[in-house]
Amino acid sequence: MPFLLYHGRSHPQSGRRLAAAIAAAVMAIAAVLLVPRPAAADTPWLTVSEDGYASFTVPVASVEAAVGSVSQIAVEGNFGPSFTWAEFGLTRRGDAWSGVLGPLKPGLYSYQVTGDDTKGLKDPTNSTVVASKPLWSTFFVAGDAARLLADAPQGQGGKVETLTYGAAGKALVWTPPGYTARRTYPVLFLQPGDGVRATDWLDLGRAKQIFDNLAIQRAMEPMVVVISDGGAAGGEELRKALADRYRVHRDPAHQAIAGVAEGGARALRAALTRPGRYAYAGSFSGLLTDVKADNRQVKLVRLYTGNVTDPAYNATIRLTKALDRARVGYEFDGVNPDAGANWNAWQENLIDFAPRLFRKVRDHGPSAGHGRLKGEFTPPAPGTTPTPFVTEDGFVTFETTTDFQNAQNVKVWANWAPNGSWLRVPMTRAGDRWRVTVGPLGPWFYYYRLIVDRTSVKDVSNPTKVTTEPTWSTFLVPGEQARLLTDVPAGQGGKVESLTYRSTVANQDRTALVWTPPGYDPDRAEPYPVFYLQHGGGQSYTDWVEMGRAKQILDHHFLDGNLVPMVVVMGNGNVPDFNRELLENLAPAAQDRYHVSSDPSQQALAGLSMGGGQTFGMLKANPGRFAYVAAFSAGFGSGAGVDAQAINNGTKLLRLYVGDQTDFVYPSFMTSLNTLNTLGIRYEFDGVTPGPHGWDVWQKNLIDLAPRLFKR
């Protein structure tokens, strides 16, 4: 739900009408997001917004009635990078497990609810079914990129019927809109792969919707499509039963075959080794690596593969070489950069393949955005390199040590869901280790941990550390988007030092980290402005450096000429009285050690989450003490007793930030805007930062805030 506001000296408030509109919008948002849903069986467990946010609310009572008591609930689905299968953990809040994931790309998603890794249950409030997977449900995220996957208008699509053949054979048959026995149709045989059933082409592949929409648009020749579970297109019994019931061609020029994974390999073998059978063949993530080609009458052989997470990627490289040696002509659709071996890729393959059948086409090249094969993908041999192993194009391979060879379930939990939310991707056994390759990940800073049989474990092969989260490790995928999070060249950045001081509030010696800019001069005539930057709950003074990448952000901004030379103090906010700690202990210690100003106009304060709440507390209790104030993912709270005039008079900048609907502070934050408007406090807010209550959002907040300080 987009909600963009800007308040400040350059964009004054527009009066009561705007305030009333904002109040109404905030109340509506709060009503949707804060009111708990009843635990009735018919209340949807899943709702999907128009902009692709999937909100899950699973009643505790329903879970316990189905599988008994559980300690955790996850929604498993094709939510991961390249649409890989991943787990989205829900949080228990009262009588329900809940969470928001998104925005998801347009397309079809499948999912099931799972407790404690092994206790699966189907969403009883979702009527969709996947015949081959009784616990799965599906949902569709609409959008232009998925328009061919949407249901055709009522009455305009083709029909799907069941055809029986032989002793017990069954196939699904799609006939085009307007099918008539007065004409004869060409035939496409679709093959599933091992472990895939014919019904999956409909339930997960959206084959009916694809054919319906292509037919309505006249983007494909009218044809009959046969989907069977049997190998080699079901054999002669199926062909005879098909010809007996439908008006179809039987000559090779009007026969096509395609399949996924092992079905793609079978399709190629059938077309290339059986003369006089098929004129068209498609292999979607096919695993064939070599073939004898006896059929020179094939008009089209088209190969498809996903990215390096697709087992067919290396197989396709070997197959193209084998076809070249055999002098068999073929077309290659290019490497799909955004999907692996899954139905999201195979839907695209079918959309590309079907319009090429039984007609002349001009374009024989790869699909738009698809790349070339770059050589076989081979991660380092087990045990030969620290993990993760990151390729230049963002594919990351994780590997455990041999310590977990007897584990039953190992996953990697990381911030690689849309905009930095967290997903767990299952690893697979590789000898006495566990491995998985994930990607492509966009350039950014990532943090992760291993989950071994539901226990959080540090990747000891990764030397990085997070002091407040001992099981976390970090890595960076380089690229322009992540430039401000990367280290600057050696010797060009500022310095981070430890500042130890005596706290009368905590009655102990405490430590802060202090960044000084390049060229910091303790003897310059004018003291430096000072920026106090606070962490959140469960964190400490180390987090802005280890997780927030504050040094890298500040270094780059300074070298880019965007930053007023300043000193940044990152303190420990875990105290019962933050205001006293900052004003009586930390600030005096910083002023004693560093050449920083005590003038309020040259002081700034910001914090995230809990630290944002502390920042608001300081603003209320000591208006004007800090001229520059910002809060990341925090609510203002009550307006009782707040001196709005003193805040406006003493604050040069009050800038507010929050994540999107996946940030659990979002509702209270939006309510805060109404409170500030009612009080007449001037502030800036230019819209949500895409992402959850996490470091991806707060890094972006600091990137935006730092260049704005001490410039008014």
**The pLDDT value given to residue 231:** 63
Please, which pLDDT band fits residue 13 given cuts at 50, 70 and 90? Answer: very low
% of residues, the chain, pLDDT over 90:
87
Q: Looking at the structure, do residues 86 and 130 belong to the same domain, yes or no?
A: yes
Please, which pLDDT band fits residue 517 given cuts at 50, 70 and 90? Answer: very high
* Domain end marker among 142, 165, 197: 142
* Domain end marker among 431, 460, 478: 478
Cβ atoms of 270 and 250 within 8 Å: the answer is no
CATH code of 491's domain: 3.40.50.1820
Tell whether the model's pLDDT for residue 319 goes beyond 80.
yes
Tell whether the model's pLDDT for residue 179 goes beyond 50.
yes
Q: Which residues pair with 173 in a beta bridge?
A: 161, 226
* Domain end marker among 428, 456, 478: 478
**Could you give the 3-state DSSP secondary structure of residue 550?**
helix
Q: What is the distance between the alpha carbons of residues 88 and 66, in angstroms, rounded to a whole number?
A: 20
Q: Looking at the structure, do residues 189 and 336 belong to the same domain, yes or no?
A: yes
pLDDT digits (tens, 9 = 90+) for 522-541: 999 999 999 999 999 999 99
Tell whether the model's pLDDT for residue 36 goes beyond 70.
no
**The pLDDT value given to residue 190:** 96
Pairing between β-strand 473-477 and β-strand 444-452 as defined by DSSP bridges: antiparallel
Tell whether the model's pLDDT for residue 293 goes beyond 80.
no
**The pLDDT value given to residue 72:** 96
In the chain the first and final C-alpha atoms are separated, in Å, by 33
* Full DSSP string of 3-35: -----SSSS----HHHHHHHHHHHHHHHHHHHS
Is 119 among the domain residues? yes
Q: Looking at the structure, do residues 493 and 515 belong to the same domain, yes or no?
A: yes
Q: Looking at the structure, do residues 318 and 297 belong to the same domain, yes or no?
A: yes
The Cβ-side half-sphere exposure at 280, using a 13 Å CA radius, reads: 20
Q: Looking at the structure, do residues 617 and 509 belong to the same domain, yes or no?
A: yes
Range(s) of the domain holding residue 166 = 156-356
Is 420 among the domain residues? yes
Cβ atoms of 307 and 84 within 8 Å: the answer is no
Q: Looking at the structure, do residues 493 and 472 belong to the same domain, yes or no?
A: no
pLDDT digits (tens, 9 = 90+) for 598-642: 999 999 999 999 999 999 999 999 999 999 999 999 999 999 999
Q: Looking at the structure, do residues 489 and 471 belong to the same domain, yes or no?
A: no
Is 29 among the domain residues? no
CA-closest candidate to residue 299, choices 271, 319, 273, 259: 271
Who wins on pLDDT, 167 or 142? 142
Please, which pLDDT band fits residue 233 given cuts at 50, 70 and 90? Answer: low
Tell whether the model's pLDDT for residue 24 goes beyond 50.
no
Q: Looking at the structure, do residues 460 and 497 belong to the same domain, yes or no?
A: no
Helical residues (DSSP H) of 68-154, grouped into ranges: none
**The pLDDT value given to residue 287:** 93
Determine the average pLDDT of the residues in 248-276: 92
pLDDT digits (tens, 9 = 90+) for 93-102: 999 999 999 9
Tokens standing for residue 519: 């060229």
Is 9 among the domain residues? no
pLDDT digits (tens, 9 = 90+) for 432-464: 999 999 999 999 999 999 999 999 999 999 999
Is 578 among the domain residues? yes
**The pLDDT value given to residue 667:** 95
Report residue 527: phi and psi, to 5°: -65, 155
Is 430 among the domain residues? yes
Tokens standing for residue 658: 């929050």
Tell whether the model's pLDDT for residue 10 goes beyond 60.
no
Q: Looking at the structure, do residues 463 and 491 belong to the same domain, yes or no?
A: no
Q: What is the distance between the alpha carbons of residues 284 and 342, in angstroms, rounded to a whole number?
A: 10
CA-closest candidate to residue 306, choices 265, 263, 266, 348: 348
CATH code of 92's domain: 2.60.40.10
Q: Looking at the structure, do residues 524 and 568 belong to the same domain, yes or no?
A: yes
pLDDT digits (tens, 9 = 90+) for 566-605: 999 999 999 999 999 999 999 999 999 999 999 999 999 9
Q: What is the distance between the alpha carbons of residues 339 and 417, in angstroms, rounded to a whole number?
A: 14
**Could you give the 3-state DSSP secondary structure of residue 441?**
coil
Q: The pTM is what? A: 0.90
Q: Looking at the structure, do residues 522 and 444 belong to the same domain, yes or no?
A: no
pLDDT digits (tens, 9 = 90+) for 478-496: 999 999 999 999 999 999 9
| Calculated CA dihedral for residues 127, 130, 131, 135, nearest 10 degrees | -80
Determine the average pLDDT of the residues in 267-295: 88
Q: Looking at the structure, do residues 501 and 578 belong to the same domain, yes or no?
A: yes
**The pLDDT value given to residue 1:** 30
Q: What is the distance between the alpha carbons of residues 346 and 260, in angstroms, rounded to a whole number?
A: 7
% of residues, the chain, pLDDT over 70:
93
CA-closest candidate to residue 200, choices 305, 127, 130: 130
Is 6 among the domain residues? no
Is 150 among the domain residues? no
Mean pLDDT of the residues in the chain: 92
Pairing between β-strand 107-115 and β-strand 396-399 as defined by DSSP bridges: unpaired
Tell whether the model's pLDDT for residue 25 goes beyond 70.
no
Number of domains in the chain: 4
Please, which pLDDT band fits residue 510 given cuts at 50, 70 and 90? Answer: very high
Determine the average pLDDT of the residues in 272-284: 89
